[in-house]
Structures are given as C-alpha cells and as structure tokens.
Amino acid sequence: MPIRRRSHQPQVSPMPGTNMYDMMGGEHGSKMMTVGDLTLDPGVTSVYHIHPNTEENIYVASGEVEFRLDGHRFRAKAGDCIVARRGLGHGLANVGETPARFIVMYPSPSPEREVATEPEWIDGAPDVGVFFRDKVKPFEFMPGVSRYDMVGDFLGAESSYFSELTFNPGAIAPNHFHPAHEESMFCIEGELGAVYDKKDSITLKAGDLFLCEPTIRHGIFNPTGKKSRLLALHPVLNPPPRVDVE
C-alpha cells in the first residue's frame, strides 16, 4: 500500500503561478488513477485543453473560481465539482483575491493532455458535468458520517466515482474491500485513522493520501474529538462494488 504523506509528496509547477502536490499516479504505485492537489495564485488561468485518454474530475477545495467546460463559462466555489469527460474541452481560473485550491483526479495512471481551441463562450453552467454543493444536501452514510456523492454516472462520468465524507468524533466507516478496483482516500481536513489489511490504526493527517489495492480490507474512523473530512476516490462508476468485512 503506497501511503503518500504530505511531507513526501513532490511539488511541481504545471505553469507559472501554480503549485501542485503530486499525490498519486502510475509512478507512485497506482495502476488505475492519478491524484493531485493544485493551487492557483490569484489571476492565474489554465490553458483550455482536453484529455484524449481519460476524464478529469476537479473538486474546489477553496477559493473563487471560474470553470470553462464544453464551451460554457461559469463561477464555482468551495465544495463544487466538475467532471470533464474524455475529449471535452475544459480549463479553470482563479478569479478571487486569495489562492484557489483544487483536488484533481483522473481514472488513469497516465493521463494525456492536449491544448484545445477556445470556442465562443456561453455564460452559465452546462446541463451535465457540474456538481453545485448548495443545490444538494448530504446524506447520512453511517452514524456520525455525512456524505456528498459528487461525481458518478449521474454527472456524466464514464469511469469515476468521487465522494466527500465528514466524520464526527468517534464515527466509523465499516471495513470492506473492493473486488476489482483501487480506492484512494485523501484526508482533506483534520485527522483520521485508517484500517489496511491486518493493520487497524494508521494515522492520516490533512494532506495525507493512501491507496488501497483490490481485495484488501480497509476502512476509516475518527479517533479525535473534532470533525474530519475525507475524499474517497474510485476509478469506477457508482456504486463502487464492495464487500463488507470485519
């Protein structure tokens, strides 16, 4: 199991005014996905581009942003998310006065990227591909665990499932395994405990990510006195096949 501690994640700059933690990908042990933690300085705009071999999921962790997706141009904020399907033009910009942060996930260990021609823009979000947090209520996944399902076939994804879970103190998500796909779990806020195979207490702090391979027992719990948040990333459609275990 590759555990990617924040202190060991290499930082790269995809373009001027940006910084990205390279959290997971083919060179780090994944056979099914790539995950990054991207920050844009105020005023920075990414090039309009496509991914010919995979879709891209972009979660807004903080900031005021503008997305460009399939010819549409619209604003988004923390907690919102988009899926840019394979071959679909997209880009993003920081339109606020503070750095904007994004968690990006591709259901491929080696995403390809090509610059695309910008179209005539239509102001407003497209009908598919966008999750607006304020239009959806979370549901209780388990006692003390609230959950947003942000990306899946309901959003037009072809091979991604992306959820955010908030754990109250003492809350537990049951141990389970996935028969045929990996799962990446990223601690975005607070501190959590992870179960992996025969290990029952692995500490995950904010910025840490671990990858669980197919058929391996795993789970998450909150051993602290404060709420913590987790992003659960699956390179399959909803619902990800799972088997609950002790």
Q: Render pLDDT for 13-53 as a digit per residue (tens, 0 to 9).
A: 999 999 999 999 999 999 999 999 999 999 999 999 999 99
The hierarchical CATH code for the domain 7-116 is: 2.60.120.10
pLDDT digits (tens, 9 = 90+) for 136-192: 999 999 999 999 999 999 999 999 999 999 999 999 999 999 999 999 999 999 999
Sketch the domain layout of the chain as residue ranges.
7-116, 138-244
- Which SS3 state, helix, strand or coil, does residue 46 take? coil
Whether residue 223 contacts residue 167, with contact meaning beta carbons closer than 8 Å, is answered with no
Fold identical between 7-116 and 138-244? yes
Taking only the tens place, the pLDDT of each residue in 69-115 is 999 999 999 999 999 999 999 999 999 999 999 999 999 999 999 99
Could you please state the CATH topology (level 3) that the domain comprising 138-244 is classified under. Answer: Jelly Rolls (2.60.120)
The model's pTM = 0.96
The strands making up 172-177's β-sheet, listed across from edge to edge, are 199-205, 191-196, 218-221, 172-177, 243-244
- In this prediction, residue 2 carries a pLDDT of 76
Contact at 8 Å (CB) between 99 and 151? no
Q: Are 35 and 209 in contact (CB under 8 A)?
A: yes
